[in-house]
């Protein structure tokens, strides 16, 4: 196993379904799997497919442990724009997951660095993350690891860029209400997940995706560190793939994937 596997699907729906099938297969084979979740618009459809698989096929999350990538500092978990709220509203509230097995960074902790260390320890003591779902920012961030993040960083405080704060303004009703600080898993933390599943849809993601997959590995495009990951699967729609140079080759590889390797 090695290298990035780039899978281009006709649209977001088919790419999200493929992502959900990868997660579902893991949970069926390993009911006590450790899943890493992301927030944002990108994984919403994938979560809807997981909810549907839970309802219609009995996909059981009751033994699953979960970790989320990030959370705002100083925002109460009950705030509608918190990632706690997002996860319960869009996924956890509709599946059988146990609240005591859900781990989202605690942005209200009185000692944030200690909370970050504890988060890392809990990932380790849970056996490590089996699959980490990732979106990508327009600036190439994964989690909230903004450009110039150390490529070996661990869970810590980050200050959001002006662009990222603007991208989240809608959820808060105004750009200036977006917190400046977050807790995020580091790039080193993400790299330890056994599989990374990066999803990107739409034209806005075409450039960071091309830089991530075909550019140099650089802290200025944090997602590019995934080139060094042992198993990174990248699920794209046509628009997000539109600035890649080697699309013919990626399609060729996927079309000729041995049946036993198909998702």
> Phi and psi dihedrals of 203, rounded to 5?
-60, -35
Question: CA 263, CA 259: separation in Å to the nearest integer?
Answer: 9
For the bound state, the minimum distance from the C-beta of residue 38 to ligand PGA, rounded and expressed in Å, comes to: 7
Q: Which part of the chain contacts ligand PGA (CB under 6 A), choosing from 20-28, 39-47, 82-90, 111-119?
A: 39-47
Contact status: 36 vs ligand PGA (CB under 6 A): no
For the bound state, the minimum distance from the C-beta of residue 140 to ligand PGA, rounded and expressed in Å, comes to: 10
- Of 25, 28, 30, 41, which lies in the binding site for ligand PGA, with binding defined by CB under 6 A? 41
Active site residue 70: yes
Contact status: 137 vs ligand PGA (CB under 6 A): yes
> Where on the phi/psi map is residue 127: left (φ > 0), alpha (ψ -120 to 50), or beta?
left
Between residues 59 and 88, which has the closer beta carbon with respect to ligand PGA?
88
Between residues 107 and 135, which has the closer beta carbon with respect to ligand PGA?
135
- Of 16, 42, 90, 153, which lies in the binding site for ligand PGA, with binding defined by CB under 6 A? 42
The contact mask relative to ligand PGA for 173-212 (x = CB under 6 A, - = no) is: ----------------------------------------
> Where on the phi/psi map is residue 229: left (φ > 0), alpha (ψ -120 to 50), or beta?
beta
Looking from the CA of 113 toward its CB, the CA atoms found within 13 Å total 0
Contact status: 153 vs ligand PGA (CB under 6 A): no
Contact status: 170 vs ligand PGA (CB under 6 A): no
Torsion of CA 254, 143, 155, 18, to 10 degrees: -30
CA–CA–CA angle 205, 239, 165 (5° rounding): 25
Between residues 115 and 136, which has the closer beta carbon with respect to ligand PGA?
136
Question: CA 189, CA 166: separation in Å to the nearest integer?
Answer: 26
Q: Nearest-CA neighbor of 65 among 30, 92, 98?
A: 98
Q: Which part of the chain contacts ligand PGA (CB under 6 A), choosing from 78-86, 123-131, 134-142, 169-177?
A: 134-142
Active site residue 181: no
CA–CA–CA angle 245, 250, 255 (5° rounding): 150
- Of 136, 187, 193, 244, which lies in the binding site for ligand PGA, with binding defined by CB under 6 A? 136
> Phi and psi dihedrals of 128, rounded to 5?
90, 160
- Of 105, 135, 140, 186, which lies in the binding site for ligand PGA, with binding defined by CB under 6 A? 135
Q: Which residue's Cβ has the minimum distance to ligand PGA?
A: 40
For the bound state, the minimum distance from the C-beta of residue 59 to ligand PGA, rounded and expressed in Å, comes to: 23
Contact status: 222 vs ligand PGA (CB under 6 A): no
Active site residue 141: yes
Catalytic residues: 70, 139, 141, 146
**What does the binding site for ligand PGA look like in residue numbers (CB under 6 A)?**
40-42, 135-137, 141
């Amino acid at each position: 196993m090695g290298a990035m596997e780039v899978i281009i699907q006709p649209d977001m729906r088919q790419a999200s379904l493929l992502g959900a099938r990868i997660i579902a297969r893991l949970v069926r084979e390993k009911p006590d799997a450790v899943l890493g979740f992301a927030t944002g618009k990108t994984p919403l459809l994938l979560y809807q497919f997981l909810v549907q698989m839970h309802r219609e096929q009995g996909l059981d999350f009751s033994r699953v442990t979960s970790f989320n990538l990030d959370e705002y500092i100083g925002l109460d978990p009950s705030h509608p724009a918190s990632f706690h709220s997002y996860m319960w509203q869009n996924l956890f509230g509709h599946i059988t997951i146990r609240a005591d097995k859900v781990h989202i960074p605690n942005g209200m902790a009185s000692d944030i660095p200690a909370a970050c260390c504890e988060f890392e320890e809990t990932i380790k003591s849970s056996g490590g993350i089996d699959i980490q779902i990732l979106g990508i920012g327009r600036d190439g961030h994964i989690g909230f690891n903004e450009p110039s993040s150390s490529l070996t960083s661990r869970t810590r405080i980050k200050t959001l860029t002006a662009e990222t704060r603007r991208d989240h303004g809608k959820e808060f009703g105004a750009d200036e209400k977006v917190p400046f600080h977050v807790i995020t898993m580091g790039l080193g933390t993400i790299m330890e997940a056994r599989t990374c599943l990066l999803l990107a849809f739409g034209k806005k993601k075409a450039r960071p995706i091309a830089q991530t997959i075909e550019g140099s590995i650089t802290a200025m495009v944090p997602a590019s560190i995934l080139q060094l990951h042992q198993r990174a699967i990248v699920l794209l729609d046509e628009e997000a793939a539109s600035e890649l140079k080697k699309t013919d080759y990626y399609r060729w590889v996927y079309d000729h994937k041995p049946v036993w390797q198909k998702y």
